[in-house]
């Protein structure tokens, strides 16, 4: 590829060269992608997808993956995942091109000229930073860059998730240490993103693939146990299914009842290695898919409780109060045949589609003109808040806060305006305050929790409505640090306390210098206004006078030597 070609001409030149050579670009390999895309978008033009494929195939030609397959197989498989999720044409083009900037001579400027700004932004958002330049910070800074791009266009995250899913599917070709690193990183950062976006279909597969790498023996044991007990479990639960179907029919409600097999990782989290106690209810969730509206789910709930005994206090209504990722359903726990506890999930067909595909389903509906753009209602406000104060955060601090915010066991607290604020169990009002923003956290003095006055160290329960009380004169304190539990709150409080200590040291140091200079007959304020102090500070390697004075207070700069320099320069 000739680097002398202007941006935008290389892709066209490569395609023209292939056409002149009469060489087929392997469109048979792209057919599954085109079929899936056409199924979701019957009127979509396939030319733009083919053109992106041609450019990617030529750019990657001659490259191979660890498996020995041509490299182009990877972007095709990533694109197929997204096409089957119903993603739009631009996303599929970006997916086909997503590794060209990182792994070939094709540049971002050329891609932008060939395919436009929209595709360029998506590709750039998922392109890793150069490890040789960024070193150990490359991973954190790549995530920071990706999240910045996702704040403007969430499709960046979807491409990244599809990319990681295919990499996990083919992880067996990587060396063992790399398998462990990729699987662990996926569990900590990528899988929680899938859950935040409501994409449980991807999440379940990624969970099990990581499980197989990180705990291969436990994975194999769970897989064997489920395979050996699935048929028998279905037989045992079938009478309960029949009773529920009859009860739904009595209510004149059209609904499908299915036994939904749980994925391996979820079963492992519940039963661990106690496989000898495995019960049919551990393997399945009873899923009721209602052909109707939201209100019909409540009718179905009555049918469930009529056919099986409900467990008191175990009803969760995610229809009237959706989760932060827009997940909606009714969850109830009942006692099925043999006295075994069984979980039942009730959804409409549309809720089920959203529960499985989340943001991807919303984007598909928006692109098809079937609904208004509701993707922004998925709670990524926490990402914007995170980025608002972390532009200058260290890589380690950024990753620590990101992992904390992506914990899977978050509770939901609410502002008085009804905004959902996800927090970890055990969180306090000071954590809530900093989740709203540094200024609110820095000036917090107390809280109203469910209308009652509460201290900043009080523990919040899920569903709490919180109003933070502030005072302009309030500042973060060591007591606030003790009360904080989230990485974000603790980092911001520590940062403020460190800055306050630096300010206090600068005040003490300046006082020391002023007294010493006055003893020689000079005024420090006069030396500062004439620029003498600033010049001396610069020669000593300090950018700010406060840094110099702080060093005096810490004993890092000899006071007598500094006074000599100041008075000599002022002469």
Q: Which entry of 103, 188, 296, 528 is annotated as an active-site residue? A: 103
Could you tell me how far CA 260 lies from the centroid of its own chain? 26
Using CA atoms, how far residue 492 sits from 433, 436, 447, 473, 478, in Å, is 11, 12, 19, 17, 12
Distance CA 490, CA 208 (A): 33
Closest CA to 559 of 508, 501, 500: 508
Secondary structure (3-state) at 263: coil
Q: Which entry of 29, 102, 109, 296 is annotated as an active-site residue? A: 102
Q: What does the H/E/C string look like for 95-164?
A: HHHCCHHHHCCCCHHHHHHHHCHHHHHHHHHHCCCCHHHHHHHHHHHHHHHHHHHHHHCCHHHHHHHHHH
Rg, C-alpha atoms of the chain: 30
Q: Which two tokens stand for residue 323?
A: 């989760």
Residues with Cβ within 8 Å of 25's Cβ and at least 6 positions away in sequence, in order, are 18, 53, 54, 57, 58
The DSSP element (H or E) to which 430 belongs, if any, is: helix 429-436
Q: Which two tokens stand for residue 474?
A: 């309030």
Q: Which two tokens stand for residue 63?
A: 């490259």
Q: Which two tokens stand for residue 496?
A: 């403020």
Quick check: 330 and 355 in contact, CB under 8 A?
Answer: no
Distance CA 112, CA 327 (A): 36
Secondary structure (3-state) at 223: helix
Distance CA 290, CA 302 (A): 13
Distance CA 310, CA 295 (A): 20
Note if 102 is an active site residue.
yes
Note if 103 is an active site residue.
yes
Would you call 370 exposed, middle or buried from its count of C-beta atoms within 10 A (0-12, 13-18, 19+)?
Answer: exposed
Distance CA 430, CA 159 (A): 35
- Please report which residue ranges of 308-378 form alpha helices under DSSP H: 349-367
Catalytic machinery residues:
102-103
């Amino acid at each position: 590829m000739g680097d002398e070609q202007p941006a935008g001409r290389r892709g066209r030149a490569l395609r023209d060269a292939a056409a002149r050579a009469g060489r087929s670009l392997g469109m048979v390999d792209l057919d599954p992608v085109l079929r899936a895309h056409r199924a979701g978008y019957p009127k979509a033009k396939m030319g733009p997808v083919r053109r992106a494929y041609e450019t990617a195939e030529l750019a990657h030609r001659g490259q191979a993956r660890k498996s020995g397959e041509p490299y182009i197989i990877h972007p095709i498989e990533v694109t197929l995942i997204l096409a089957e999720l119903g993603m739009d044409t631009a996303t599929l083009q970006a997916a086909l091109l997503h590794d060209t900037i990182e792994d070939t001579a094709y540049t971002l400027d050329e891609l932008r000229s060939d395919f436009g700004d929209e595709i360029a932004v998506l590709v750039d958002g998922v392109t890793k930073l150069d490890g040789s330049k960024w070193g150990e910070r490359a991973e954190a800074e790549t995530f920071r860059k990706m999240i910045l791009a996702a704040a403007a266009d969430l499709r960046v995250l979807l491409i990244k998730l599809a990319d990681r899913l295919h990499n996990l599917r083919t992880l067996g070709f990587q060396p063992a240490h790399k398998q462990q690193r990729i699987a662990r990183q996926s569990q900590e950062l990528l899988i929680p993103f899938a859950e935040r976006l409501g994409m449980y279909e991807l999440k379940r597969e990624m969970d099990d693939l990581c499980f197989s790498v990180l705990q291969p023996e436990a994975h194999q044991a769970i897989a064997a146990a489920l395979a050996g007990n699935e048929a028998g479990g279905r037989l045992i639960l079938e009478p309960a299914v029949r009773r529920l179907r009859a009860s739904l029919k009595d209510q004149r409600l059209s609904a499908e009842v299915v036994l939904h097999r749980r994925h391996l990782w979820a079963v492992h989290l519940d039963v661990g290695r106690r496989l000898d106690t495995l019960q049919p209810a551990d393997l399945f969730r009873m899923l009721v898919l209602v052909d109707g509206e939201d209100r019909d789910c409540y009718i179905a709930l009555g049918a469930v409780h009529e056919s099986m005994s409900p467990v008191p206090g175990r009803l969760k209504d995610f229809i009237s109060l959706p989760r932060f990722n827009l997940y909606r359903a009714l969850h109830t726990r009942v006692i099925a045949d043999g006295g075994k506890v069984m979980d039942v999930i009730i959804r409409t067909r549309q809720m089920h589609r959203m529960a499985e595909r989340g943001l991807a389903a919303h984007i598909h509906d928006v692109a098809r003109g079937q609904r208004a753009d509701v993707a922004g209602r998925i709670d990524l406000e926490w990402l914007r808040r995170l980025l608002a104060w972390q532009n200058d955060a260290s890589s380690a601090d950024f990753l620590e806060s990101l992992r904390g915010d992506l914990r899977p066991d978050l509770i939901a607290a609410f502002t008085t305006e009804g905004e959902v604020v996800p927090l970890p169990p055990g969180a306090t009002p000071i954590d809530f305050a900093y989740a709203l923003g540094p200024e609110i956290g820095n000036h917090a003095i107390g809280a109203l929790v469910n209308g009652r006055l509460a201290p900043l160290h009080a523990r919040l329960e899920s569903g709490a409505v919180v109003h933070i009380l502030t005072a302009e004169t309030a500042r973060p304190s060591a007591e606030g640090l003790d009360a904080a539990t989230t990485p974000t709150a603790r980092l911001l409080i520590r940062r403020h306390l460190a800055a306050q200590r630096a300010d206090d040291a600068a005040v003490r140091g300046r006082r020391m210098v002023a007294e010493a200079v006055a003893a020689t007959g000079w005024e420090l304020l006069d030396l500062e206004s004439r620029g003498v102090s600033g010049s001396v500070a610069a020669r000593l390697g300090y950018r700010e006078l406060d840094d110099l004075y702080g060093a005096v207070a810490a004993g890092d700069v000899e006071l007598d030597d500094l006074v000599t320099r100041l008075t000599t320069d002022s002469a």
